Amino acid sequence: MDDRVTHDRYGLGVVIAVEDEIAVFVDFGSRQERITTPFNKLYKL
């Protein structure tokens, strides 16, 4: 957790929670999103 990431649609964010190997919750500042696998558009910085 607390990894900085970037997403093609939502921009820069910080991982705030991990749901097993199924999904991650990311805080993008103006919104929080649950991103499910596969993480095609999510990249760790």
For 10-45, the pLDDT digits (tens) are 999 999 999 998 999 999 999 999 999 999 999 999
Residue 28: closest CA among 1, 5, 39, 37: 5
DSSP-assigned letters across all residues of 1-45: ---EEEETTTEEEEEEEEETTTEEEEE-SS-EEEEESS-TTEEE-
Given pLDDT bands bounded at 50, 70 and 90, which one contains residue 1?
A: confident
- CB contact at 8 A, 14 and 2: yes
Q: How high is the pLDDT of residue 26?
A: 98
Residue-range domain boundaries for the chain? 4-44
Given pLDDT bands bounded at 50, 70 and 90, which one contains residue 8?
A: very high
- CB contact at 8 A, 14 and 3: yes
Q: How high is the pLDDT of residue 15?
A: 97
